[in-house]
A = this chain, B = another copy of it.
Amino acid sequence: MSWLNKVVWDDQGLVPVIAQDHATGEVLMFAWMNREALETTARTNEAVYWSRSRRKLWHKGEESGHIQKVREIRLDCDNDVVLLRIEQVGDIACHTGRRSCFFQQYLAGSGWEAVDPVLKDPAAIYGEHGSGSSVAPHGEGDDRGQLE
């Protein structure tokens, strides 16, 4: 589809994606999409990412139940970054059980501090909805693999 050709994919065929709460403006998470993920997201109006650690499509919420209903899809001026304006089901986007993944704040003198509360124990999140696979409790398609 021609609109997918306008997107400038990187040398791995991916584009960075920012997910933002459509109502509050809060930035909830950051992930990646390939062409199929973006096409599926636009067609189904539910966020589907590319998990770099698992090397497969990742329907956000497939384990946690915390799917993202897409209200708007935006592209930046260079055509190489996507912004999703979404409704976060369950109000929790982060695999740590927090609303947003950006819960660590830099404080001069003391460095990064976790300043936002855990709303739900990750074990409970993935225990209730999880497949019991070894991926939980880090869950879903989070890219923790790149940390190693």
Interface residues of A (CB under 8 A from B): 2-3, 6, 8, 16, 18, 20, 24-27, 29-30, 42, 72-81, 83, 94-96, 98, 101-106, 108, 111-112, 142-144, 146-147
Contacts and interface: CB of A to CB of B under 8 A. Distances in A.
A147 B76 contact: no
A27 B20 contact: yes
Contacts of A81: 30, 101-102
Nearest to A24: B25
A30 B112 contact: no
Q: How many copies of this chain does the complex contain?
A: 2
A77 B106 contact: no
A14 B53 CA distance: 19
Contacts of A77: 94-96, 98, 101, 103-104, 142
A73 B81 CA distance: 20
Given A20-B27, A30-B16, A3 B76 contact: no
Nearest to A72: B105
Given A2-B111, A3-B112, A18-B27, A102 B79 contact: no
Contact of A26 (B25, B98, B102, B106): B25
Contacts of A74: 102-106
23 contacts: A6-B111, A8-B147, A18-B27, A18-B30, A20-B27, A25-B27, A27-B83, A30-B76, A42-B106, A72-B105, A72-B106, A73-B106, A74-B103, A74-B105, A75-B102, A75-B104, A76-B102, A77-B103, A78-B101, A78-B146, A80-B147, A81-B101, A81-B102
